[in-house]
Chain A
């Protein structure tokens, strides 16, 4: 009898463990590189997105439709009719979404889909929150695979994770991951910049990204506090922004239209992985503005258990600190081989000349930043002269806790722009057209990603803050007390 009891207990214990384990797996989906998905996984992702688009075709104001989820990024306010009569019909989906976003209904009420946070320290966490809801919505489109989409497909979506695009590596397609170039896929989106360099098909150097990840200063990497002046972190201005407006283009070139393009989600899923990697390396304690509320109107059934709407009169996704731990958000990343980042030793080894000597800013013929920025990719500092701005500076050590911020002021920012910054001795003339000059004195590039009407308000002038602390301290090792010139080449995108 005892033996039977013991066997029963063991069996029940095992069953409990299996249930718990299974629960854990299903509660934490895996975000994979989109090129690593199996055919069924890819078809499942396409099916879920198609269902979102099918919903929007019937009612663009459905919070769980593709249009509304794009508006979470693109559109701060829309008018919602008492009863929707707008149907997509034969319209091109994006044109239909744009039209629906502009409609005004006499019997309507206001909805506040959202407005992305950019140029501030809540850039990463706001997009993480947006993606938490988006992923939940995708998983719940057809959990058991019983709903046929308008393309005739059905797959169970309950374990779906948003696949990421590692854009620092050579693309599997001509320029983007293959599936985004397949005109038969719901992931295809017309209008992207398809111009390609015959030699290099990637734009952002993995060394540049890995080097940025080394920065221990949250503001430098992730952005400056929202409550003060804001300001892009290095990741946003050096990698995120030019990927949007220079490399991908089309609807992705503007904040007001970016999320209409399905590539937006895989692009930003990788950025979320970068955010996770920074936290793994540097901890979460230094991240600022975590008590901020994240603006967007999302389906309430997916609010996190401790969601608190705060005191405001506008909808939100709760406070930023809800989104630090991805295990509580139900996903994790699977990274393999080339998806990992270079460590400090590998970067140091990379930053050497042909004879193996470390590159030294102002001394070596190639600046370390030039090599990080350009190696193996088509991205280069602009060789054309836009508008030049210059100022002199006496080289002296800068305390990284009080960074040296160069502020570029653009009074008429109708579209995105870029500034390439050089630091050179005052007796060396700035020759932007000379490759030798660019290679030796290039210290930073920063990009402002803008459009005129983002969030329905016309911008004022724009100020782009660029951190030059690292460059000045590098120069200070050999040129302390010397007069240097900062030359800024401004170009429109």
Chain B
């Protein structure tokens, strides 16, 4: 089954859109906002997002795993199936929707 940004990936990230808009991401192309509801923004920062959402895994050395902790302080990793879905979407070339052209911009 194919994975698309809209609706699959967008739905995973929906709870974190407002929070992450406050953060500026420094890269070697410039400093970017991270709008998790925006296709181009997610594609551009797709590798950073991958590192962050896999950060709770024991083998990861990432300093700040994401999503952020729950309000009670507990870890808050995305379920494995959602991480797998995200990785599948990357592998498929990050299609926006069925039949749409693949992302061709820089990945930073």
Please report A residues at the B interface, Cβ cutoff 8 Å. Answer: 76-77, 112, 115, 117, 119-120, 122, 226-232, 289, 291-295, 309-316, 319, 405, 407, 409, 411-412, 414, 455-465
Contact = CB atoms under 8 A, between A and B. Distances in A.
A227 B25 CA distance: 11
A316 B32 CA distance: 10
Which among B24, B29, B64, B68 has the greatest number of chain A C-beta atoms within 10 A?
A: B24
Nearest to A224: B61
Interface residues of B, number: 35
A115 B64 CA distance: 15
Nearest to A126: B26
Given A457-B20, A457-B68, A461-B69, A407 B27 contact: no
A459 B30 contact: no
Contact of B28 (A231, A293, A460): A293
A463 B28 CA distance: 24
Which among B30, B65, B66 has the greatest number of chain A C-beta atoms within 10 A?
A: B30
Contacts of A314: 24, 30-33
Interface stretch (B6-14, B50-58, B88-96): B50-58
B26 A457 contact: no
B68 A312 contact: no
Q: Interface SS of chain A: helix, strand, loop or mixed?
A: loop
A77 B29 CA distance: 21
B23 interface: yes
A459 B62 CA distance: 12
Nearest to A294: B26
A77 B22 contact: yes
Interface string B55-98: 11010111111111100011110000000000000000000000
Interface of B: 19-20, 22-24, 26-33, 47-48, 51-52, 55-56, 58, 60-69, 73-76, 106
B60 A463 contact: yes
B73 A463 contact: no
A461 B65 contact: yes
Listed from nearest, the 6 A-B pairs whose CB atoms lie closest are A312-B30, A310-B30, A460-B65, A311-B30, A314-B31, A458-B68
A463 B26 contact: no
Contacts of B65: 460-461, 463
B22 A457 contact: yes
A280 B55 CA distance: 36
B106 to A, nearest CB: 7
A124 to B, nearest CB: 14
Contact of B64 (A117, A319, A411, A462): A462
A117 B26 contact: yes
A295 B22 contact: no
Contacts of A313: 30-33
11 contacts: A230-B63, A294-B26, A295-B26, A295-B31, A311-B29, A312-B32, A316-B30, A411-B75, A458-B68, A461-B55, A463-B61
B89 to A, nearest CB: 20
Contacts of B27: 227, 292-293, 312
Given A311-B30, A412-B73, A460-B56, A465 B61 contact: yes
A460 B61 contact: no
Contact of B26 (A122, A229, A460): A122
Contacts of B63: 119-120, 229-232, 462-465
Contacts of A294: 26, 31
A115 B25 CA distance: 10
Which among B47, B63, B76 has the greatest number of chain A C-beta atoms within 10 A?
A: B63
